[in-house]
Structure 1
Amino acid sequence: MKLKSHLAIAFVISVICIVGFSLMSLLISDHKIVHFDTIVIGAVQGMESPTLTSVMKFFTFIGSAPFVIVMSIVILFFLYKVLQHRVELILFIVTIIGSAGLNGLLKHLFHRIRPNLHRLIDVGGYSFPSGHAMNAFSVYVIITFLLWRHIPRKWGRTLLILFSFFMILAIGVSRIYLGVHYPSDIVGGYFASGFWLTAAIWTFQFYKERRNKLRHYSN
């Protein structure tokens, strides 16, 4: 029964993410999201200041591939040595690598050129979906998922969720502020990563429950 409820939840989330990403890509292809992008970019970049620029560069660095790789190694070490959860290592690795691979595939499928309105940093590559958005969503959601069961207090779990939400949002906004992504790139990245995470986590839960059943029957 537990597996069926997980399957139902995963299916609903997957459908929402697929529909959201598909809608976003269609709006981009038909140039019907230009107004939304322009308004959000204007609002975000309208807050520009030297201090805020430094803060946004910091958050965009946190969402970069080099930082994510280093942070992933630290997390893997933590899971392996402290929590002694070896199976979770596979989930974490598959989630992060799969998200990066999916991002590269989607970027080359859509070939969206980056905005060139008011850039504060120079980057190359295509724009949609945002790799930083997908990195942030994948890393912080999977961290929340893996640590959730090991935090006994409700306030601790609440802080974990708020921290992850803040980091995902801050990294996404930093890309808009620095002028290297459209807001629709960020939203599309969240949807794409959400679909991948749902599939990875459900597969992990399915494996664990099947393994527990086999152990129960063997005993």
Structure 2
Amino acid sequence: MKYKRYLLSAFLVGLVSLIGFSFMALLISGPRIVRFDQTVISLIQGFESPKLTTVMKLFTYIGSFPSMFGICLLVSLFLYFVLKHRAELLLFGTVIIGTPILNHILKQYFHRARPDLHRLIEIGGYSFPSGHAMNAFAVYGILSFLLWRYIPTRLGRGALIMISSIFILMIGTSRIYLGVHYPSDIIGGYFASGFWLASSIWFFQRYKEKQFERIHFSENKG
């Protein structure tokens, strides 16, 4: 029964994420989203200070490729050599490798220029959806999924979700604060990554369900 519940949850999250991303994709060329983006950027950058800039640069670095690569490498080694979970490692690799590929495809399709209102760092490339937002959501989302079953207490699980959510939100916010992304880029990135993550988990849970049914059938037959 638990596999059915997980499959339904992954399907619903994937569906909501797909609808949300489609909605954002339609809005990014309209005047309403421009006003929304400018309002949120002005609000967040209104808190600018040297100390806060340092913090935001730190979170942006945490969401960058070198930092994410290091985290993913450690997690992969842990899954393979310590837990010896080959299927979970395949899921983890699929999510992590697929996310930047999907981000590149989407950026090339939408060709949205980055904001030029007030940049605190310089960066090239297209803006929608945010690669940092997608990577953060994918990495901390899949880590939460994989670690959830090994945390026995409700308090521990709550802390896991809270810490993951803080990192996801702060990495996204740092990109707005530093002036290299619109808020709609971040929201679109979360939705795009949510769809990819949920779809990957759905196929993984479907595989686990089939594996459980085969083992259960063999035991009953024996």
Same-fold call, TM cutoff 0.5:
yes
1:145 aligned partner: 145
2:123 aligned partner: 123
| Paired amino acid for 2:137 | F
* Mapped partners of 2:70, 2:44: distance in 1: 29
Alpha-carbon RMSD: 1.2
Residue deviations 1:83-115, cap 9 Å, x none? 222211000000011111100000000000000
Residue deviations 1:165-199, cap 9 Å, x none? 00000000000000000000000000000000110
Residue deviations 1:56-94, cap 9 Å, x none? 000000001121111100111112222222211000000
* Mapped partners of 2:178, 2:162: distance in 1: 24
Identity in percent? 59
Gaps in structure 1 of 5+ consecutive residues: none
Q: Residue 11 in 1 paired to residue 11 in 2?
A: yes
Q: Once the 2 structures are TM-superposed, how far is the Cα of residue 2 of structure 1 from its aligned partner?
A: 4.3
Structure 1 outlier segments of 4+, above 6 Å: none
| Paired amino acid for 2:108 | H
* Mapped partners of 1:169, 1:210: distance in 2: 35
2:98 aligned partner: 98
Residues 211 and 102 of structure 1, relative CA distance in 2, 3 Å threshold: same
| Paired amino acid for 1:7 | L
Q: How many residues align?
A: 219
Q: Once the 2 structures are TM-superposed, how far is the Cα of residue 8 of structure 1 from its aligned partner?
A: 3.0
Instruction: Output the TM-score relative to the length of structure 2.
Output: 0.95
Gaps in structure 2 of 5+ consecutive residues: none
46-55 vs 79-88, which deviates more?
Answer: 79-88
| Paired amino acid for 1:210 | K
25-34 vs 121-130, which deviates more?
Answer: 25-34
* Mapped partners of 1:62, 1:201: distance in 2: 24
Residue deviations 1:12-64, cap 9 Å, x none? 22221111111111111223301110110001101000100010000000001
2-11 vs 110-119, which deviates more?
Answer: 2-11
Q: Is the 8 A contact 2:7 2:205 kept in 1?
A: no
Task: Give secondary structure in 2 for the equivalent of 1:197.
Answer: helix
| Paired amino acid for 1:102 | L
* Mapped partners of 2:143, 2:75: distance in 1: 8
* Mapped partners of 1:153, 1:50: distance in 2: 39
* Mapped partners of 1:139, 1:163: distance in 2: 13
Q: Residue 178 in 1 paired to residue 178 in 2?
A: yes
Q: Once the 2 structures are TM-superposed, how far is the Cα of residue 209 of structure 1 from its aligned partner?
A: 1.2
1:41 aligned partner: 41
2:205 aligned partner: 205
| Paired amino acid for 1:16 | V
* Mapped partners of 1:88, 1:31: distance in 2: 44
2:166 aligned partner: 166
Task: Give secondary structure in 1 for the equivalent of 2:124.
Answer: coil
Q: Once the 2 structures are TM-superposed, how far is the Cα of residue 147 of structure 1 from its aligned partner?
A: 0.3
2:108 aligned partner: 108
Q: Once the 2 structures are TM-superposed, how far is the Cα of residue 152 of structure 1 from its aligned partner?
A: 1.0
* Mapped partners of 1:12, 1:161: distance in 2: 19
Q: Once the 2 structures are TM-superposed, how far is the Cα of residue 154 of structure 1 from its aligned partner?
A: 1.4
Task: Give secondary structure in 2 for the equivalent of 1:71.
Answer: helix
